[in-house]
Structure 1
Amino acid sequence: MTTEIIDWEEAMEQCGDDEEFLRELLGDLRQEVSAQILKIDGVFLTSPTPPDIFHLIMRAAHVVKGSSSNLMCKHLQETSTRLEESASFANKSMDCDKQNLQIIHSQMRVAFENYKDFLISIGV
């Protein structure tokens, strides 16, 4: 099953049916998600020790989850939620399954690439 990139009708409703405002917010989301993905990339490159690795990933994924949720960007919301939950579980169990976190992070990157392609297709 393919998750939709954005629920346009719901997103428009969130923005008071102001399409120009929605487009501006979608562009801002692109920058925010890019910044958070880079933070997570940095975590994997520097390999901090538990629990820091989990906290840093949870925080970045949480930002993406909240921002994408507000704008009804379903695929980004779902993948960032999975990443946040996996990092939280790893933190609680102190089971550093870094490979699993990297897989989910890769899935979030794919969702982000799809999101960027969508923005290009609508001229944002």
Structure 2
Amino acid sequence: MTAQTDVIDWQEAMQQCGDDEEFLREVLADLRTEVEAQLSIIAEIINNPQGTPYHQIMRSAHLLKGAAANLMCGALRTASMQLEDSARAAHEQGETASPPDVQAAVQAAHRNLQQAAQNFVAFLFSIGL
């Protein structure tokens, strides 16, 4: 697992939550649920692309980026932003007709987001959530 400060800046997150640790724990648990839901959606899109899959991935990654940023979860925010950016590039270059290297960048960013999510969940487990 990565260092705690890579997963969450606890002091900043506490300030964001008005120094209410119970509330912070509650919203972190909510974030875990959202991360799991969005990762499931992204995996389904990747495994069964229809319509504008990269645009859909971009939207899910954007949602995670914002939620992670609000709770000072740096690694999760960064990985979400990378997936959002790579999915945007694939979307702008023709969705499933985009160049293979562009599509490969989305796959790599997705793997990075999965790892960041695993680290986030492991951290939550380590603090009893």
* Root mean square deviation of aligned Cα: 1.6
Structure 1: where are the runs of 5+ without partners? none
Percent identity among equivalent residues?
45
My pick for the range that moved more, 85-94 or 38-47, is 85-94
- Amino acid across the alignment from 1:118: F
Rounded to whole Å, the distance in 2 between the matches of 1:77 and 1:6 is 10
- Amino acid across the alignment from 2:67: S
The answer to whether 1:74 aligns with 2:74 is yes
Match of 1:104, SS state, is helix
Match of 1:4, SS state, is helix
Match of 1:45 among 25, 47, 51: 47
Which residue does 2:122 correspond to in 1? 117
Q: Which runs of 4+ in 1 moved over 4 A?
A: none
Rounded to whole Å, the distance in 2 between the matches of 1:44 and 1:93 is 17
Q: Per-residue displacement from partner, 1:32-66 (whole Å, max 9, x unpaired)? A: 000000000001111225xx011110111011101
Which residue does 2:60 correspond to in 1? 60
Query: How many matched pairs?
Result: 122
Structure 2: where are the runs of 5+ without partners? none
Q: TM-score, normalised by structure 2?
A: 0.89
Please report how far the alpha carbon of residue 93 of structure 1 lies from its aligned counterpart in structure 2 after TM superposition.
2.5
Q: TM-score, normalised by structure 1?
A: 0.92
Rounded to whole Å, the distance in 2 between the matches of 1:44 and 1:98 is 10
Which residue does 2:20 correspond to in 1? 18
